[in-house]
Homo-oligomer: A and B are copies of this chain.
């Protein structure tokens, strides 16, 4: 069992990186048309003035300003000397002003004016834009797309820009190439795809090398080659301290390991090494660990080459759940961020390092500092944006019970520029988030003993609040299994349940009690999944014999489904937010014919009441 040499703090690792390497980028010449977003390697000095000589700034006549001195409305002057010019024409020698054609009475080539003009009126003097020998841009300037026009006008056809080459080496005997369907225990090699895309955005030219098996000699060959061919090398996976982890050993053999283990979460098994004076990074195999190491260590390091890596924008936001951590590591947590009423709120996502969807769903992240024990619910914390500030403001926060229909609503809303971000916390979780004004809408299906849905819970947890319940659908819940089991078959079968507080769990308990079945008789009653599809999948994979979920989830995985009950799945919304354009768009989308068609196609939904609104208080 190998161990980490010594875990290094993030700050120390970054310091070491900025001091430990010479970081000399290459200079390459790119055609002007491909230069947007790149960094100038040298100042751009213009070789001729623009314009090079005086030209007319308007369509009109070139005149000698002195000839116009006595002209007025009362005393029109017919000019002794004038010549027709269009915008951009050279001002002929001896002339020093232009009069707009609209202000001239022309009779053949005789021109009469009624107003004196000062010298150099409507003349673009030579060098007005830029003069020969002037610096259009310093070195280190990031070229913005619109600047290509100016550069073209100044005679620039190619630009010397900074270039850094990175070699990306995927290692792991379990890896298969993208496009190959992974067999049991295999994984698609995706970390170098991600790294390549993130580095390319910073202007790095990446080479993805072939997958290398967990074999020290083969890894050594690959690393040697990549170090020869690039300024930076990244080795994906094998960076931990396990028996199959060879990255550190190989780097130590070819050069030196400067850091093995960085005090960040996720991302601890990271390596910083140096071979032939060049930095070699070992990044962890878990995708979100790799993401974190690239974002927090590799990308900031690229600034030492003069490359442009934006500093994330931050918004102070109220955190909707307590975030605990141990002292000693900087911890990074992916989040959904949105503005409810006048207040920004931020909700931490799953912290599983293998759950890439939590990055796809996230529009922000938190950095909880090493010295902190975490943050209490309700604290205002700095959320770092993964989208623009303006885009974060379009987020529609939907917290509550999950249904596949929400993804389809998200799809409809995205076309209107609204990003529906759903956090699956179950119906009760949603009601509580709504009570704290931490979400825009709470999808809920909570059954009361009197057989009614949702209203009693709203009255209890949001007393006096003006709430609208917008019906998504009457929704079929039932037992999913491989063998067409029904509720009464559950005892002594292995079961996969939903989490406490979810409407499905409550419905199950209600129906079990009606059927006189004791939950204790159900193996796996304690095992929780957080979505319908996760339940269906557990059944499909054989992990459980049965579970309860909505029809669409069973159908998506082609599993038998035995209906148990139809429930009212509604979105609870504070009436005061309905003027908000995002909430209004949500309500419109639920009521649209398109959405109803989608539900009908998915199956298991009674759409008779879809879009109808019930008022509570």
> In the complex, what residues of B have CB within 8 A of residue A337's CB?
none
Q: Are A354 and B407 in contact (CB under 8 A)?
A: no
Interface membership of A519, Cβ < 8 A: no
Given contacts A129-B355, A153-B287, contact A135 B178 (CB under 8 A): no
- Expressed in whole angstroms, the Cα–Cα distance for A409 and B391 within the complex equals 36
- Which of B90, B134, B295, B407 is within 8 Å of A533, CB to CB? B134
Q: Is the CB–CB distance between A32 and B411 below 8 Å?
A: no
Most buried by B among A53, A134, A191, A357: A357
The contact of A191 among B57, B149, B242, B313, by CB within 8 Å, is B149
User: Could you say which residues of chain B place their CB within 8 Å of the CB of A154?
Assistant: 188
Q: Which residues on the B side are within 8 Å of A287 (C-beta)?
A: 149-150, 153
If the complex has contacts A126-B543, A179-B157, are A90 and B184 also in contact, measured as CB distance less than 8 A? yes
A140 sits at the interface (CB 8 A)? yes
* Number of residues from A at the complex interface, CB < 8 A: 126
Given contacts A52-B182, A59-B243, A149-B194, 10 further A-B contacts (CB under 8 A): A32-B178, A33-B193, A52-B541, A125-B529, A131-B534, A137-B360, A144-B386, A146-B198, A146-B294, A310-B388
Q: Contact at B174–A359, with CB atoms within 8 Å?
A: no
Binding site for B on A (CB under 8 A): 1, 32-33, 36, 43, 48-55, 57, 59, 86-90, 101-102, 119-120, 124-141, 144-155, 157, 174, 178-179, 181-182, 184-185, 187-191, 193-198, 200-201, 240, 242-244, 285, 287, 290-291, 294-295, 303, 306, 310-313, 352, 354-357, 359-360, 386-391, 404, 407-408, 410-411, 413-415, 417, 527, 529, 531, 533-534, 536-538, 540-541, 543, 556-557
Cα distance A472–B268 in the bound complex, in angstroms: 49
Residue with the greatest number of chain B CB neighbours at <10 A, chosen from A32, A136, A153, A193: A153
Contacts of A413 in B (CB 8 A): 138
Cβ of B140 and Cβ of A411 under 8 Å apart?
yes
Of the candidates B53, B57, B102, B359, which one forms a contact with A150 in the assembled complex, judged by CB atoms under 8 Å apart?
B359
Give Cα distance in the complex from A390 to B527, angstroms. 46
Is there contact, CB below 8 Å, between A311 and B390?
Answer: yes
Shortest Cβ gap from A201 to chain B (Å): 5
The residue among A138, A313, A529 with the most chain B CB atoms within 10 A of its own CB is A138
Task: Tell whether, in the assembled complex, residue B415 and residue A140 are in contact, meaning their CB atoms are under 8 Å apart.
Answer: yes
Q: Which of chain B's residues have a CB closer than 8 A to the CB of A185?
A: 55, 88-90
- Per a CB cutoff under 8 Å, which of B48, B133, B152 touches A190? B152
Given A313-B390, A391-B310, A411-B140, answer yes or no on A533-B133 (Cβ-Cβ < 8 Å): yes
Answer whether A360 and B150 are a contact pair too, CB < 8 Å, given A1-B101, A411-B140, A538-B126: yes
| Complexed CA–CA distance, A145 and B187 (Å) | 20
Q: A57-B354, A125-B538 are in contact. Are A556 and B150 (CB under 8 A)?
A: no
A36 and B191 CA atoms in complex are apart in Å by 15
Q: Is the CB of B533 within 8 A of A136?
A: no
Taking CB atoms, residues of chain B closer than 8 Å to A291 are 146, 149
Residues of B contacting A534 in the complex (Cβ-Cβ under 8 angstroms): 125, 127, 131
A415 touches B139 (CB 8 A): yes
Nearest CB of B to A270, in Å: 16
- Ranked nearest first, the 7 interchain pairs of A and B with the lowest CB-CB distance are A149-B194, A133-B556, A152-B190, A140-B414, A150-B356, A138-B411, A145-B197
Docked-complex contact A139 and B414, CB < 8 angstroms? yes
Q: Are A242 and B87 in contact (CB under 8 A)?
A: yes
Min C-beta distance of A92 to chain B, whole Å: 10
What residues of chain B lie closer than 8 Å to A556, measured between beta carbons?
132-134
Chain B residue contacts of A182, Cβ below 8 A: 48, 52
